[in-house]
Amino acid sequence: MVNIRIIPATMRYAKAYCAAVDIVARERRYLSRTTGFSLASTKAFFRSAFDDNCPILVAVDDQDRLVGWCDIIALPGDCCCHVGRLGIGLLPAYRNHGLGGRLLKAALNQAQGRFEQVELEVLSGNGRAIRLYERFGFEQEGVRRRAFFVDGQYQDILLMNKFLQ
Ligand SMILES: CC(C)(COP(=O)(O)OP(=O)(O)OC[C@H]1O[C@@H](n2cnc3c(N)ncnc32)[C@H](O)[C@@H]1OP(=O)(O)O)[C@@H](O)C(=O)NCCC(=O)NCCS
């Protein structure tokens, strides 16, 4: 994984980002949806994040192929926009090698000065992601009981938060 670079996203990564989110969503066990977003809504998401100075980072291989992402987007509303909402994902072959930690660290660094705190939602069964978030100082703030339901199975959604310095 040493040849993976972490860089700020630009619009030219929108299509690959869109495809990567779709792949992870279709695994049906990590994200809150089972398909990704359209390319048009992904581009709108990128535009809004860029305008709002919110970090979107991508992990790319030595041939510039996107293998993961991490973004922190402001909550809507002028009373809540000091809080960032984090999303992260890696393509399956790139997991368990510390890349998630590299992405998260880079995104949190960029979030300094932009957000006072960063929150996220994670499924209670996603031990690897929970472990990663705890390692970076996120703490559980709440639980949405049985709020996730797919393939006949419920899971709790944990709310986690980290205050930035
Ligand atoms: C979550 C994700 C970003 C983590 O990135 P990663 O590169 O795989 O994770 P890292 O290697 O940086 O760290 C994972 C940690 O979890 C631990 N771990 C792995 N599997 C685990 C499990 N089943 N239960 C608990 N801990 C686990 C690892 O030992 C490591 O801990 P350590 O740093 O103390 O050694 C990545 O696995 C991923 O994209 N998963 C699918 C999508 C997803 O879950 N997104 C988050 C939605 S909230």
Side-by-side strand order, sheet with 66-74: 5-8, 56-60, 66-74, 83-90, 117-123, 153-163, 139-150
Q: How far is the CA of 132 from the centre of ligand 1 (A)?
A: 6
Q: What is the pLDDT of residue 144?
A: 98
Ligand 1 pocket mutation, candidates 17, 128, 130, 135, criterion most atoms within 8 A of CB: 128
pLDDT at 40: 98
Mean pLDDT of 103-115: 97
Position 16 scores a pLDDT of: 98
- Whole-angstrom distance, CA of residue 156 vs CA of residue 124: 5
Query: Which pTM was predicted?
Result: 0.97
Which residues lie below 8 Å from residue 70, measured CB to CB, with a gap of 6+? 55, 56, 57, 86, 87, 88, 103, 104, 106, 107
Instruction: Please write the tens of the pLDDT for every residue from 144-159.
Output: 999 999 999 999 999 9
Quick: pLDDT tens for 30-84: 999 999 999 999 999 999 999 999 999 999 999 999 999 999 999 999 999 999 9
For residue 124, the model assigns a pLDDT of 98
CA 108 remoteness from chain centre: 11
User: Is the predicted pLDDT of residue 165 greater than 90, yes or no?
Assistant: no
**How many angstroms is it from 138 CA to the middle of ligand 1?**
14
pLDDT band at 129; cut points 50, 70, 90: very high
What's the gap in Å between 77 CA and the centre of ligand 1?
A: 31
Query: Does 2 score more than 80 pLDDT?
Result: no
Alpha carbon separation from 8 to 18, 37, 148 (Å, rounded): 16, 20, 31
Cβ neighbours of 82 (radius 10 Å)? 13
Task: Quickly count: other Cβ atoms within 10 Å of residue 3's Cβ.
Answer: 8
Q: Is 68 helix (H, G, I), strand (E, B) or coil?
A: strand
Distance 157 CA to ligand 1 centre (A): 17
Is pLDDT above 80 for 11?
yes
Domains of the chain: 3-120 (3.40.630.30)
Residue with CA closest to ligand 1 atom 27 = 128
Q: What is the mean pLDDT of residues 86-112?
A: 98
- Ligand 1 neighbours (beta carbon < 6 A): 24, 30, 88-90, 95-101, 122, 126-129, 131-132, 135
